[in-house]
Amino acid sequence: MYKTRIALAVLVAAGVVGTLAPWYTGMQLEEVLQTSIRQGNEQLQDSVPGAGVSMELVAVERGFFTSTAHYRLTLDDTSSGEAPTVLRFSDHIEHGPLPLSRLQSLELKPVMATSRFELERSEDVIPWFVGAGGSSPLTGSLVLNYDNSVTGRVTLLPLQLAGEGNSVRFSGMDLEVAAGAQSEYLRLAGGMDSLSLDLNRDGEPLQLQLKGLSLRSDYRLGQSGLYTGDSRLALQQVQLLQAGKPPVEVRDFVQADRLEELGGQMKGAVGYDIGMLSYGGQPLGSLNLSLSLANLDVLALKNLGDWYTGLLRRLQTQPDGDTGLSAEEQDGLQAGLGALLAGQPKLALDNLSLKTANGESRFSLMVDLARPVSYELPPAELARQLVGKLDVHLVLAKPMIRDVVMYQAALDPAGDPAAAALEATQLAEMADEMASSLQFARVEGDNIVASLSYADGQIEFNGQTLPAEQFAGLLLSVAPAEAMGLMMDGEEGAAAGDRQAQPGADRGAMATDSAVEPR
């Protein structure tokens, strides 16, 4: 009997706790929602002043175990002169610590609340509801944890919209989201199957198709207050179809970026890849573009960011005022850039490449910057102090030149394949001869190669070391000849070209004699 009474007492206590906990959560819920919305609005305005986006909590219908909240999201583009767009959301909230929906799915971790929200029908979004078959086109489910972090999913339903000669077909999208209590981390992942836009531009149909989109981002707030992390966006296929023109297709497009912070400095990289580019059904090749930054002083970046935010706020409050920079703003910009240059940042185009069926050409450029003693220096001296180091490399593949010419000829139905092949070979050889004769490159097998490095006033050009002044002379030695060719037009132009040819040739000989023959 004694043990039975103890068991009954435990059950009663559990029942009381299980009742009071949801009631207490409901009492605290409105304050938590108000705080989260206010912080979100403030962070958005700090990041993008005048963004014209704001959310407010309209009402909360509080119950014992559940509550219903109503929100209003206002999109106001003041520059358009149109009335703001208002989106209304309803939110069914289950109080913690053990919401019924989570118990039913055997998720036993205590949480403050769960949320299931959806876009409400209103005049501004009636077409969306019609396109989604009458259902709410935007829904989501979120979990609010006791540390105020949020996890959940946002769903866009499939849509079919049409009007005024245009139409949209959308497969729908699911996004997994997560955010810290103070937005100290932000995560997003999801994708869609397809999006097709049929547009009518001045009576001409245009279709854009996207297939196989996936995206992922993972960012965390660093010690400096700047976000670091990485993101990736991929598309399996992009196709552009226009009446009377060959279709353009891109396959396996990938954009990836990364930001890191270490020791008060930031570095980052972004890359773009196209697995295959085609025009008129003819494969043209693949493309790669990679950019990177390093040695970016974090404090200088923050100061420049604050300067830019202040400028946006000023322009927002004075939309019809002076858009030029004030003396104070100019001083702030110069100070911020000076601090950034003092860290000797490194900028690089690490790779720009085009690969065709028979060859691949590549280009890279890396530059180290420094802070000049003054910005009032003559241009040549300012450039010398601003650029601490420069490296440029070019590899131009002659087979790629031939491929590009042949691709162009293949798109001409009246073209002669044999004549196109001969022209492609001649152009490739012409590029070879011009590069060698002008001393701007050297030939290595099927590649035309050029390289340039600069540091401390000395230039290494295609393997030979030259003072900067001598390199400038080498450039000038071919400039008059090029200009002469452009000026010659008729007998009078030819005569003028003849009068200028001799001085240019003399300068070319002087520069050639003083230069070391390239290897």
Does position 104 have pLDDT exceeding 90, yes or no?
Answer: no
Place of tokens 């097998």: 445
Q: Which residue has the higher pLDDT, 4 or 395?
A: 395
Question: What are phi and psi for residue 456, nearest 5 degrees?
Answer: 55, 40
Q: What is the pLDDT averaged over residues 456-466?
A: 82
Largest distance between two CA atoms of the chain: 124
Lowest mean pLDDT among 128-137, 200-209, 252-261, 298-307: 200-209
In this model, does residue 146 exceed pLDDT 80? yes
pLDDT bin (cut points 50, 70, 90) of residue 137 is very high
Contact 142, 118 (CB under 8 A): no
| Mean pLDDT for the stretch of residues 55-74 | 86
Amino acid residing at 445: G
The chain-wide mean pLDDT, for the chain, equals 80
Burial class (CB in 10 A: 0-12, 13-18, 19+), 114: buried
Nearest to 158 by CA among 183, 178, 134: 134
Convert the pLDDT of each residue in 299-341 to its tens digit.
999 899 889 888 888 877 776 666 678 888 888 988 999 999 9
In the predicted structure, residue 10 carries a pLDDT above the cut 50: no
CA separation (Å) from 309 to 31, 224, 306?
Answer: 30, 17, 5
- Position 353 pLDDT exceeds 90: yes
CB-count exposure of residue 41 (10 Å: 0-12, 13-18, 19+) = middle
Beta-carbon-side half-sphere exposure of residue 275 (alpha carbons within 13 Å) = 9
Average pLDDT over residues 201-223: 90
